[in-house]
Amino acid sequence: MLAGDRLVMHAVRRNAPWTAILAATAVGGAAAELALPYMAGRTVDAFVVADPAAVRWLAGCAAVVACVVLCESLGMWAGGVTGARAAARLRLGMLRHVLGVGPAVTRRFPEGELVTRAGLNAEEVARAPESVTGALALLVPTAGALVALTLIAPVLTLTLLAGIVLILIVLNTFLRATTTIAGGYQEAQGELAAGLVEALGGARTIAAAGTEDREVLRVLRPLPRLRLHGMRLWRANATAGVRAGLVVPLVEVAVLAVGGFMLAAGDLTVGELYAAARYAVLGAALSGALGPIGGLARARAAAGRMAEVLAVPRTRHGSRALPSGTGAMEFRDVTAAGLTVPRLVIPGGSLTAVVGRSGSGKSLLAALAARMADPDRGTVLLDGIPLPELTGPELRRAVGCAFERPVLVGDTLADAITLGRPTPDDAVLNGGPDGGPDGVLDAVTVAARADGFVRRLPHGYATRTMDAPLSGGERQRLGLARAFAQGERLLVLDDATSSLDTVTEREIGRALADGPGGRTRLVVAHRLATAAQADQVVWLEDGAVRGQGPHRELWRDPAYRAVFQGEEP
């Protein structure tokens, strides 16, 4: 069984009670609907001959109608609930898995793709039970109508079968026709969307040239083609509708005519003729059975796409804690995606700068040090313990990361800054009202020079993250504060001060160096000043360590100087 199919089965099984209700209402409703024409026919016949049993038949009809209405309503409800519950479970499972895998998952599945798979696809998989019962609810009357009709008169069944074959032929031609024509429509749509995305990308050029109106016309240029293909689609739809719309009534008329002669010959009662006509119509409902079957196919395809994401292995954490230490790092024979670091020791409490041209592997080195990525081979150790052997919380308590473009996660700025704290304890964090004295929140924002603009915001730390107007530099400072609040032994700063002015950058650097405990700092930087201040510099080139040592010594090499002088080699 494919992983996707297992997912569908699982979705069905986990929801067993509601799925059972759904199935029961579907089958029950279908059976009742099937029984009604026969019973209605018998009622009419009984009344015509003034049979006292007529009242019993009538009561039966009322009961069956009540059953149909109840089953339909209940089925609607059960269908909605099953879908909602299954979707929620599948979705949450996938989101948890994605969180467990970490950023590595976005290398294979872009962000939008993940959202589609956890959103739309989960919804499609969750509809599998409804699709199955829906198909069932349509198959029961179709098959049942054939049986009932045969019981009334086998000749009528032959009439109906001929009609059903016709319907299938019509549907086949219809399905083929639309898929071919829809291509042209989608192409025009795609062109329009591409033009719009282009224009949005060129917004500055367009605004400066003042050509907005011209651009709107240009983007809308495929409209006539879109309409042409659109009308063609409608026409194909309409034509297929004529064929499909004719077959059902013609089947009925044929059954009525054949049955009429049997009535005239005394082989059928009026009630039976009515029942036969209804069964002919019900039997023709097969045409609609293809919809739910298509839904099942979609559910399977969607499940396959979800299973692909679930197949990416989660990041495994160990069970060890860190011994006491100063945050010394060591790389041993590390190889990862084009970066080779045979041996690199970063003394505890030191400031190490990583420099190199773009593409030389600086960010990857930083990611490996913080276990944001695992090496293909080799080991990265913190205070003598390989990173994968640490428990997740222990690792994250020890290592804090700041990025060039930090994404602030959390409802308020306070939440966003303390995201890396194990438990958001208000007393520890805030100390007093509004992050007052001695609070961690206060300390880290001061160290990151973020306290000034946060205080200027109308609600201070309680400002909602999405409402806070932040420049790139302000965002970077909040990202730094977040890392400071978290990493007790090691801070990995990946170009995290690139949007800061030199004075602020220097102040933050000094605050870090002077802070208690003197954490180890690994700083990816482009600026000369950062390298000059570092205890040692790791100079990367084309995925290898080209040099290592104090800036003063490396500076003698013209190739090293060229890294900072912006010249191509």
In the list 14, 343, 464, 561, the residue contacting another protein (rule: CB under 8 A) is: 561
In the list 3, 14, 168, 261, the residue contacting another protein (rule: CB under 8 A) is: 261
- Residues 283 and 146: their CA atoms lie apart, in Å, by 7
- Residues 142 and 73: their CA atoms lie apart, in Å, by 21
145 forms part of the interface with another protein (CB under 8 A): no
Binders of another protein among 379-398, rule CB under 8 A?
392-393, 395-397
CB of 285 to another protein, least distance (A): 11
CB of 8 to another protein, least distance (A): 19
Coil vs helix vs strand at 545:
strand
Write down the number of H helices and E strands in the chain: 24, 10
Helix 128-152 vs helix 286-310: crossing angle, to nearest 10: 160
In the list 10, 136, 546, 555, the residue contacting another protein (rule: CB under 8 A) is: 555
Q: How far is CA 33 from the centre of its chain?
A: 40
189 forms part of the interface with another protein (CB under 8 A): yes
Site string for another protein, 296-325 (x = CB under 8 A): -------------------x----------
Binders of another protein among 37-76, rule CB under 8 A?
40, 43-45, 47-48, 54, 58, 61-62, 65, 68-69, 72-74, 76
CB of 16 to another protein, least distance (A): 17
User: Exposure of 211 by Cβ count < 10 A (0-12 exposed, 13-18 middle, 19+ buried)?
Assistant: middle
In the list 239, 288, 294, 377, the residue contacting another protein (rule: CB under 8 A) is: 239
- Residues 290 and 244: their CA atoms lie apart, in Å, by 13
b/e per residue 383-410 (b: at least 16 CB within 10 A): bebbbbbbeeebbbbbbbbbbbebebee
Stretch of 83-91, 287-295, 296-304, 336-344 contacting another protein, by CB under 8 A: 83-91
In the list 196, 290, 446, 544, the residue contacting another protein (rule: CB under 8 A) is: 196
For another protein, the closer CB: 1 or 363: 363
For another protein, the closer CB: 241 or 436: 241
CB of 222 to another protein, least distance (A): 10
The 3-state DSSP composition of the chain as helix, strand, coil percent (nearest 5) reads 65, 10, 25
Q: Evaluate the CA torsion angle 53, 58, 59, 65 in order and state its sign.
A: positive
Site string for another protein, 156-175 (x = CB under 8 A): --------------------
User: Exposure of 52 by Cβ count < 10 A (0-12 exposed, 13-18 middle, 19+ buried)?
Assistant: exposed
Binders of another protein among 470-509, rule CB under 8 A?
470-474, 476, 479, 482, 486, 498-504, 506
In the list 136, 161, 177, 206, the residue contacting another protein (rule: CB under 8 A) is: 206
DSSP assignment string, 310-359: HTSPPPP--SB-PPS----EEEEEEEETTEEEEEEEE-TT-EEEEE-STT
CB of 238 to another protein, least distance (A): 4
378 forms part of the interface with another protein (CB under 8 A): no
For another protein, the closer CB: 90 or 139: 90
Helix ranges, 220-285 (H): 223-264, 270-283
